[in-house]
Structure 1
Amino acid sequence: MAETYTLMATAAAGLESVVAKEVQDLGYDNVQVENSRVLFKADRSGVARANLWLRTADRVKLLVGEFEATTFDELFEKTKALPWEHYIPEDGEVPVVGKSVKSTLYSVPDCQAIVKKAIVNRMLNKYGLATKIPETGAKYKVEIALLKDKATLTIDTTGPGLHKRGYRVGQGEAPLKETLAAALVMLTNWRADEPFVDPFTGSGTIPIEAALIGQNIAPGFNREFVSEEWGLVPQKVWDEAIVEAEDLANYDQPLQISGYDIDHKMIQVANQNAKEAGLADLIHWKQMQVRDFHPKGKNGYVVSNPPYGERIGERKEVEEMYKQLGVNMAEHPSWSVYILTSHQGFEKLYGKKATKKRKLFNGFIRTDYYQYFGKKEKS
């Protein structure tokens, strides 16, 4: 029987339920949703599959252990008692990072040093080494996270965060994370055969993520992960996961996805990013002001992260754009509109109360995701 591990998919606040659904869609049933994280059981193939497929998670970690700790001695002994040799080989490189929130053990550098000492001590004993571990092999980044005196010890399986898809060669001043862009699409009822438009596209992240979703392309397909170097997850496991991703991709799915922006330079950047993602011919890009945006067809979707108007001198211009978008979309009642903004007066400016509103965080900015559901028309 294959060994089972506890994996932790970390998530931005407000996206935990989206990540949990993704995990369940991968076939993992024992899912536990907590603040900023989703826990689930999987064999070693789950490490590869979760990293390749999770669109909205920040990263995937192996949970080694959790316990209460209020003294440094307690932290040392309980860390040392965990089976580190099950995960880390004798030559593994073991950097330790940490954080502490509302805990008695508030000194993060001290906690990191104690955890490192405990792991090394355990490995010296288990591997029969004399004075130190060589640390010449693959990297196993350990995190000690303390929250209200509860210590959580994990090993990162991802490396650079999952939002690093590998296609973004250019970006604007306030780029939207790829993981959040994917979440904005997944929080709609859009289907791949329906029109999809982002009228404030910037570097094109939302349309690109929509295209990846529309053709069921694994978001991690064209990048590398730190756990690919681990003996714990053999190359055969990664190869099988990649073959599965290739088999499930639907490259023949036609798409009606467009991205518009007032800045012609950003349209060039978006187009270059789409080429890098292998989606050059699938997304229509055009320089356009919002007042000229009049969607074609019916039963389409507008999904966008427009400017928020938080800079001095920018607010009035942004508010006019919100008003104009509302006027234009009122003429297309079959279209659904989804807008992410921190502007508290958005509904009044748009001219209509949202059908639904969801609190999300764009980085450290508290935003609302305003959702207007269109009245579907028969084709």
Structure 2
Amino acid sequence: MTNYELIATSAMGLEALVAKEVRALGYDCQVENGRISYHGNEMAIVKSNLWLRTADRVKLKIGEFKATTFDELFEKTKALPWEKFLPVNAEFPVSGKSVKSKLFSVSDCQSIVKKAIVERMKRHYKIEGWLEENGPLYKIEVALHKDVALLTIDTSGSGLHKRGYRVDQGEAPIKETLAAALVMLTNWTPDRPFVDPFCGSGTIPIEAALIGQNIAPGFNREFVSEAWNLIPPKIWDEARTEVEDVAKYDQPLDIIGSDIDHRLIKISQENAFEAGLGDLVTFKQMRVQDFTTSKQYGVIVGNPPYGERLGEKAAVQKMYNEMGKTFEPLDTWSIYMLTSDEEFETHFGKKATKKRKLFNGFIKTDYYQYWGKRPPREK
């Protein structure tokens, strides 16, 4: 097996969580802004794609070098061992981005990288004319940051947030990767009640159920690297068999998702059914103000409306206030709310135990955490 340099990309604020997941898979890693770097073999590529709940993608790092001229970008790209990764018939589109770099024209950088790889491949495979490019897909990216070019190949295909269970969605769905992160940042364990009072299309409760039963987030989808010669099919088979073996399908769960919109409840039920969790998660139409429970030591996780649109803020803040009163008696419950409203604590009526900065898409938010009493230790 070959040792590769891998990069798991991450949304801002989730790097530490992605790194924790990478380490849990057994790989040492380095953490930088938006990326977690580590080394691993073909099985590491497969396991990372199947198991990372909070990463955006898994990329193969081909090279990194300083480039301040187009000549330098061309020659240094051409010097990389592309033939080790790309077969003669590889389809390899090049995408790009440039931040704070002398080479700021992304389209020029893309075409130069493409040309350099073509020349390298033609020389290696002894081809005179065109490269066919009718084989498996290898999506290459050139990312320039402060004059340093990073060249990678994407092993995931669709972003890892695309789990394959979303049949339909509401207006502003939360990404599955962020939903999983919100659950993982709580003190919830599968033996405790879990409630999402703003479930929308059901993403947070579904991610909680996958975590609760130790089901790999990538179990229900395909990855672009499954078509590569680089990774023998038996490695994929082995990893998928392990996914089945370690899942705890008999773990009982008490997970409820509710929403004021009955259409979203129907969508949530369809999505949970598609994820194979139809019987495990209960969805019901309800206002957050009507929530009551006699259960103890539960966890509430919510991504409520933020009041970002003109004229909505007052109504949303009134709802935060009513929610605070509704949750006040639940002293053994822990409550976690994600919102961009910087006055949330004032309206909710209580200062958070802890706050964590996160991004929901491009919206800067805080994750307000209220920790309830700890469950008594079992004798």
Q: TM-score range by the shorter chain?
A: over 0.9
Q: Distance in 1 between matches of 2:282 and 2:218?
A: 23
The CA deviation at 1:313 is: 2.7
TM-score w.r.t. length of structure 1: 0.98
Please give the per-residue CA displacement for 1:306-345, whole angstroms capped at 9, x wherever unaligned: 0001112322221122112211221011100000000111
My pick for the range that moved more, 147-156 or 304-313, is 304-313
> 1:81 — aligned with what?
79
**Which amino acid in the other structure matches residue 145 of structure 1?**
A
Q: Distance in 1 between matches of 2:113 and 2:151?
A: 9
Matched ranges for 1:183-332 at <5 A: 183-332=181-330
Q: Distance in 1 between matches of 2:30 and 2:130?
A: 38
**What is the CA RMSD across the aligned residues, in angstroms?**
0.9
Question: Unmatched 5+ residue regions in structure 1?
Answer: none
Q: Distance in 2 between matches of 1:296 and 1:93?
A: 58
Q: Does 1:181 align with 2:185?
A: no
Q: Distance in 2 between matches of 1:27 and 1:55?
A: 15
Please give the per-residue CA displacement for 1:249-299, whole angstroms capped at 9, x wherever unaligned: 000000000001111111111111100100000011111111111233111
CA gap 1:377/1:234 in 2 versus in 1, 3 angstroms: closer
Q: Distance in 2 between matches of 1:372 and 1:132?
A: 62
The CA deviation at 1:377 is: 4.0
Q: Distance in 2 between matches of 1:208 and 1:355?
A: 26
Secondary structure in 1 matching 2:54: coil
Q: Does 1:34 align with 2:32?
A: yes
> 1:365 — aligned with what?
363
Superposition misfits of 4+ residues, deviation over 4 angstroms: none
Q: Distance in 2 between matches of 1:297 and 1:375?
A: 13
TM-score w.r.t. length of structure 2: 0.98
> 2:9 — aligned with what?
10
Q: Distance in 2 between matches of 1:23 and 1:377?
A: 30
Given candidates 146, 156, 161, the residue that maps to 2:144 is: 146
Q: Distance in 1 between matches of 2:305 and 2:170?
A: 11
Given candidates 141, 147, 155, the residue that maps to 1:157 is: 155
**Which amino acid in the other structure matches residue 138 of structure 2?**
Y
Q: Distance in 2 between matches of 1:298 and 1:268?
A: 28
My pick for the range that moved more, 325-334 or 80-89, is 325-334
The CA deviation at 1:347 is: 0.4
The CA deviation at 1:101 is: 0.4
**Which amino acid in the other structure matches residue 210 of structure 1?**
A
Q: Distance in 1 between matches of 2:160 and 2:331?
A: 36
Identity across aligned pairs (percent)?
64
**Which amino acid in the other structure matches residue 205 of structure 1?**
T
Q: Does 1:98 align with 2:108?
A: no
Question: Unmatched 5+ residue regions in structure 2?
Answer: none
Secondary structure in 1 matching 2:152: strand
The number of equivalent residue pairs is 377
The CA deviation at 1:192 is: 0.5
The CA deviation at 1:34 is: 0.5
Q: Distance in 2 between matches of 1:138 and 1:218?
A: 25
Q: Distance in 2 between matches of 1:61 and 1:210?
A: 26
